[in-house]
Amino acid sequence: MLQQRYALITGASKGIGKQTAHLFAKNGANLLLVARDIDTLVSLRDELQEFSINVDIFSCDLTDENEIKSLFIKIKKVTKVIDIVVNNAGIIKSSMFSMTNSDTLKDMFQTNLYAPYILTQYATRMMRKSPYASVIFISSMMATKGGIGHSAYASSKSALDGMMKSLAKELAPTIRVNAIAPGVVQTDMIKTLSEDEKEEYTSKSLFKRLATPNDIATVILFLASDMSKYITAELINVDGGIC
Amino acid sequence: MQTEKLKQVFIEALGIDKNTNIENLEYNTIDEWDSVAHMNLIGEIEDAFEIMLDTDDIIDMSSFTKAKEIVSKYLKG
């Protein structure tokens, strides 16, 4: 489905990013995997050796613009064209509105908005010659639904949704731009949730379970592939019908 | 500075006639050099000269003369 294409995935070392890397590899994509922790990326590259694809790994602190620039200088030595970008890296910190200081707010926006914004600026300069160009952002159901203790996180993801819609208009028809809004996914990020919250989200899901990374990765694959070639500026909820 | 090479990049990236007075070209003064074409031009300059431009320089690249100055800065390293 993605043969011969180069896909850049941020936050690739675990959770949704790691599962997406596996799914893309199964579908023939060459991978540019980005995360802070190079050791976990080395392990992941080893896991992906069974597939006949190129896997390049890059350690990068996406909150540092200079590191993002250096990342693309390195990527250009691997490929001149990027076909797919999955902006998956993100952070969540839970705190009540009155207990959220400006540093927490800035951290959240730095990682969840500024980093994908800057990274996508660089990436799209390498996507203009791709006939398959697709940018995918990982938003959150919190962006539109909100959540107690998640005002900072929800704000940053909501801003991401607005950026996605604008970017889709600016980059059409050359590059498609979409986002996925997962519900609560069984990854390290839900460590911030209490057991009561997990139970609440499980019971609210129409499937009576939390999402798996694969539930999200399959939709990422759909948006990355030609199956969605007439879809852009779209936010797809993958939240099990939580309302 | 490889002025002729940069001129060729402008001609190809913007799709303009080779007889255009490129030395006097300014952003948004011709139909071919709008905001969309600007990003294509940036990409072509980066590929041709094997450089990676900072966003501030992309914003500042408002004319061929300015482009020459900016690219020179990167080539001097």
The whole-model pTM stands at 0.94
User: Which amino acid type is present at position A179?
Assistant: A
Chain A residues with CB under 8 Å of B43 CB are 125-126, 128-129
Residues A181-199, mean pLDDT to the nearest whole number: 88
User: What percent of chain A clears pLDDT 90, i.e. is strictly above it?
Assistant: 93
The answer to whether A55 touches A6, Cβ cutoff 8 Å, is no
Residues within 8 A of A (CB atoms), B 34-53 only: 36, 39-40, 42-43, 46-47, 50, 52
Q: How far is B13 from chain A (nearest CA, A)?
A: 12
Give residue-wise pLDDT tens across range A19-43. Answer: 999 999 999 999 999 999 999 999 9
Give strand pairing partners of A35. A59
For the segment A48-90, what is each residue's pLDDT rounded down to a tens digit? 999 999 999 999 999 999 999 999 999 999 999 999 999 999 9
Other CB atoms closer than 10 Å to residue A192's CB: what's the count? 15
| pLDDT tens, position by position, B16-25 | 999 999 999 9
Q: Residue A59's CB: how many other CB atoms inside 10 A?
A: 15
Look at domain B3-76 and name its CATH class.
Answer: mainly alpha
Question: Nearest by CB to B39, which of A72, A80, A125?
Answer: A125
| Residue A209 phi, psi (nearest 5) | -155, 160
Residue B1 predicted with pLDDT over 70:
no
Q: Do A69 and B46 touch (CB under 8 A)?
A: no
Q: How far is B74 from chain A (nearest CA, A)?
A: 13
Domain chopping of chain B, boundaries: 3-76
**Cβ neighbours of A204 (radius 10 Å):** 15
Q: Selecting from 3.40.50.970, 3.40.50.620, 3.40.50.720, 3.30.470.10, what CATH number does the domain A6-238 have?
A: 3.40.50.720
